[in-house]
Amino acid sequence: MAVNKRISELSSLSVATADDLFAIVEMSGSPNETMHITKGNLMNSPGPIGGINPSTGDFSALTLVNQINEFSTDDTLSGDSDTAVPTERAVKTYVDSEVEKATNDVVRMQVVPVSSDTTAVGGNIILGDTTGGNVQVDLVPDTDGRILILKTAEDNKITIVSSTGILYDGEEVISIDLEVWNASIEILCVDDNFYVI
């Protein structure tokens, strides 16, 4: 029968070896038995960790549980696998690539003040000063995105022109005039097509 003892009353363990991790005391046996646990005990197949050469403690040959059987370097993550774990480099490359795609897909709006004839592409905000005369803005299907045109002066007009046509109120027109002070129009460029939105 086991006897409760203070730590100071326990018998000393033998000197630990380099392979020892920790010791346990088995209290249910008769007689009680002190045992040591090593890396080999933990890793030998079919131990809780496993591995090809588990007793060496070399985790480069680690066999994962729960059906995980591969460290993947696929930086596109196209394998879509439930049994592969991607490496840090694979994950970083994939995320960097996706962020770059998203950045390239976003057209940043650029303010362009003008007082004479000009061109506009997706991403432009044209601030047209017509104080000195009429201003013509030619739409160029170079970059997909929004084009905002604002008339910033009271006199004269801004004429917006597209040789490929502008879909406006269900009809295709070649030009649109802005004649009222502070009048504005927003146009969406998609491929070679322009739409008033």
Residue 9, classified by CB atoms within 10 Å of its CB into exposed (0-12), middle (13-18) or buried (19+), is exposed
Cβ atoms within 10 Å of 160's Cβ, excluding its own: 26
Q: How far apart are CA 148 and CA 182, in angstroms?
A: 12
Cβ atoms within 10 Å of 66's Cβ, excluding its own: 7
Domain ranges in the chain are: 11-61, 70-104, 110-196
Three-state secondary structure of 45-80: CCCCCCCCCHHHCCHHHCCCCCCCCEEECCCCCCCC
**Which residue is it, tokens 């995980």?**
68
H helices, E strands: number in the chain: 2, 13
- Give tens-digit pLDDT for 99-135: 877 666 555 789 999 999 999 999 999 999 999 999 9
- Give tens-digit pLDDT for 30-87: 555 566 666 666 655 554 444 444 445 455 555 555 677 788 888 888 888 888 888 8
> What type of residue is 77?
L
Secondary structure of residue 106 in the 3-state scheme? coil
Domain 110-196 has CATH 3.10.50: no
pLDDT of residue 50: 45
- Give tens-digit pLDDT for 157-170: 999 999 889 999 88
Question: pTM higher than 0.75 for the full model?
Answer: no
